[in-house]
Chains A and B, each alone.
Chain A
Amino acid sequence: MSAPLAKLLTPSAKALAEALDPIGAVPGVTDYLFVDARGVPVTRTSHYGYDDERLALATEALRRSGIVLRAYLGADAPESEPLALRFSNGWVLAWRLGGATLVVFGREGLDLPTIRMRVSILHREVADSRRLRRFLANGPDSGPDWVRATAQSDEERCWIDTISGGRTDG
């Protein structure tokens, strides 16, 4: 966690940032960002891999995808497994914790088992801490309606309508 950011954090956010810190040390992790339910960054890795703008763009795209994926999966949505994107030269993994989103960026050779272990520890810490749960639930948990309202194109809006509109069918 970066020192200036730590000063701004509430005790709950600090506890989260500390819990997340070991993820930055996992082999292959180039960066990570944790955003709250409104998409506001809570913490990121101390060794910045990407500039703020690029990281925010990527995280926002993943946050939106995570929201829509949850609408698609409905009751089948797992608690602690990510949406994983495998590129030819790297990985992007996104977890939903309450309304918040953790996005981890990794290069080829990313140590996936260790990442999973770290995130499951984080999930346990969140589950055990009422304060953290309240912190994560704070703010609007933007649902598919919000993603639709802020869709980047008519095509995207149409996909979201199909996914969330068909929810009762699946």
Chain B
Amino acid sequence: MGLVGNLSDLNVANIIELNCVEKHSAQLTVKTRSGDAMVFFDNGEIVHARWGELKGTEALYHVLRLSEGDFHVAPTTVPPERTIFESWKGLVLDGMRAFDETRRLQGDIAQSLADELKGLPGVSRLLVVSKDGIVVHDQGGTPTERAYALSALLTAQGSALSDTLHFGPLNYAAYLRGREKEFVFNCDQFLVMLAVPRSADIRPTSALIETIRAKLKASENELVPREEADEDAPR
């Protein structure tokens, strides 16, 4: 019998454990923006993984870090090929360890971004938060949850517009608020909201964020398949 769900309810490591402990021969498919990610099980062992151009353990490590997307597990008898020979427990542990390391590195980069931004003249409010809601820095009066929700909404709309208009990636959204101007920057896995005086020149801030964005992207590219890494490129 198949299993259907979303990774927000059951993560990839749990799905793998379930299939391996139960000695299943099955195919896990996860729908992602970069196409289907697939993991094949044969009698409770992981024997093959594929995502985009990646295959084997490299693909599996990327699948392990997915946190959202619809999935289904269907029984299968013959995997298309065998590219993985290691034990599933070791693979899952290594994959999760690499993922944690990347997250830690990205957290450090985001913290250094927050340290530099709060030192800029005129910044009265600053919120740096990861896209999964972990607050890196919060300074100023706006209730954090509301500011995060607005930032997430604007950057999501901006990304959708970018796809529609072929304008390249969203650098920032801006609007006036009282005597100040608020900016929401889309910084890879992080959102940055900051308020500056209306007359402030945003270009140095924008350049700084661009540098950090490149660093984050570089750390991300260590783990993300080429297709997804190129997703934001202008078309």
Chain A residues engaging chain B, CB cutoff 8 angstroms: 50, 54, 57-58, 61-62, 64-65, 68-69, 72-73, 76, 78, 81-90, 92, 105, 155-156, 158-160, 162-163, 166, 169-170
What are 12 A-B contacts with C-beta separation under 8 Å?
Answer: A61-B161, A85-B161, A86-B171, A87-B161, A87-B169, A88-B171, A90-B168, A155-B156, A159-B149, A163-B146, A166-B146, A170-B143
Question: Which listed residue, B153, B174, B177, touches A86 by the CB 8 Å rule?
Answer: B174
Contact indicator B168/A89 (Cβ below 8 Å): yes
Q: Mark B133-158, 1 if CB is under 8 A from A, else 0.
A: 00000000011011011101110111
Q: Mark B157-183, 1 if CB is under 8 A from A, else 0.
A: 110111011111111111111100000
Beyond A54-B165, A76-B178: 9 further Cβ-contacts under 8 Å?
A61-B157, A69-B175, A73-B177, A88-B168, A89-B168, A92-B165, A92-B167, A156-B153, A170-B142
B234 lies within 8 A of chain A by Cβ: yes
For the complex, give the distance between the alpha carbons of A94 and B148 in Å: 21
Instruction: State whether A85 and B143 are in contact (beta carbons under 8 Å apart), knowing that A69-B150, A73-B175, A92-B165 are contacts in the complex.
Output: no
Contact indicator B145/A162 (Cβ below 8 Å): yes
Which residue from chain B places its CB closest to the CB of A169 in the assembled complex?
B143
For the complex, give the distance between the alpha carbons of A156 and B150 in Å: 10
Question: Which A residues touch B172, using CB under 8 A?
Answer: 85-86
Question: Which A residues touch B145, using CB under 8 A?
Answer: 162, 166
Question: Which B residues touch A86, using CB under 8 A?
Answer: 170-174
For the complex, give the distance between the alpha carbons of A127 and B85 in Å: 73
For the complex, give the distance between the alpha carbons of A147 and B174 in Å: 20
Contact indicator B158/A169 (Cβ below 8 Å): no
Which residue from chain A places its CB closest to the CB of B185 in the assembled complex?
A86
For the complex, give the distance between the alpha carbons of A76 and B165 in Å: 30
Question: Which B residues touch A65, using CB under 8 A?
Answer: 153-154, 157
Which residue from chain A places its CB closest to the CB of B169 in the assembled complex?
A88
Contact indicator A88/B173 (Cβ below 8 Å): no
Instruction: State whether A156 and B171 are in contact (beta carbons under 8 Å apart), knowing that A163-B146, A163-B150 are contacts in the complex.
Output: no
Contact indicator B162/A87 (Cβ below 8 Å): yes
Which residue from chain B places its CB closest to the CB of A30 in the assembled complex?
B165
Which residue from chain B places its CB closest to the CB of A93 in the assembled complex?
B174
For the complex, give the distance between the alpha carbons of A64 and B150 in Å: 12
For the complex, give the distance between the alpha carbons of A105 and B150 in Å: 22
For the complex, give the distance between the alpha carbons of A86 and B205 in Å: 14
**A22 vs chain B, min Cβ distance (A):** 23
Which residue from chain B places its CB closest to the CB of A66 in the assembled complex?
B175
Which residue from chain B places its CB closest to the CB of A163 in the assembled complex?
B149
**In this complex, which of B150, B167, B172, B174 has the most chain A Cβ atoms within 10 angstroms of its Cβ?**
B167
Question: Which listed residue, B148, B173, B177, B234, touches A85 by the CB 8 Å rule?
Answer: B173
Question: Which listed residue, A50, A78, A90, A159, touches B150 by the CB 8 Å rule?
Answer: A159
Question: Which B residues touch A158, using CB under 8 A?
Answer: 149
Which residue from chain A places its CB closest to the CB of B153 in the assembled complex?
A159
